[in-house]
Copies of this chain bind each other. A is one copy, B any other.
């Protein structure tokens, strides 16, 4: 951020009085422009013994497989965001079961929120952000071609939980340090 989005004048970057972190401040408008993490919201769509994955048609991770998910918009609920993204990326007709995965990624200022969901039919097809959409059994999951660690984490939990038929919410933190290694959860 270089300019105030309200008046167009240059901002300064310093710690405001009574605060303890540097912020972008417009000294003309007297506005502090806070910057906050973004929510990435989506679904883990289940059909019989299979899960739905989308092959990404956009960067980052073009050509790799992911769960339908994307940035939450203003004026929607988490559930609406999860269903909208699943519709946009996979034209998937879903019913949300429950909140399943809540993952903090502090190094990129993102929070993933993924819901378990039932596919209501198999009339899905790739949206403009997907090259392909397919159902995978556990054995078929392309573990080495998954787009993000959040997706691998969530799928591993799902197949473990399915053994016990118990699907509690999993919260975890994926930091830069452990991004390619062990998860904290």
Contacts and interface: CB of A to CB of B under 8 A. Distances in A.
Contact of A39 (B1, B9, B39, B77): B39
Contacts of A169: 99, 169
Classify the secondary structure of A's interface with B.
Answer: loop
A131 interface: no
Q: Give the contact-size bracket for chain A.
A: 35 or more
A134 interface: no
A98 B102 CA distance: 12
A72 B37 contact: yes
Interface string A66-93: 0000011111111110000000000000
18 contacts: A2-B5, A3-B5, A3-B6, A3-B7, A4-B5, A5-B5, A5-B33, A36-B38, A36-B71, A37-B39, A39-B111, A74-B106, A76-B106, A77-B175, A78-B111, A79-B104, A99-B169, A169-B169
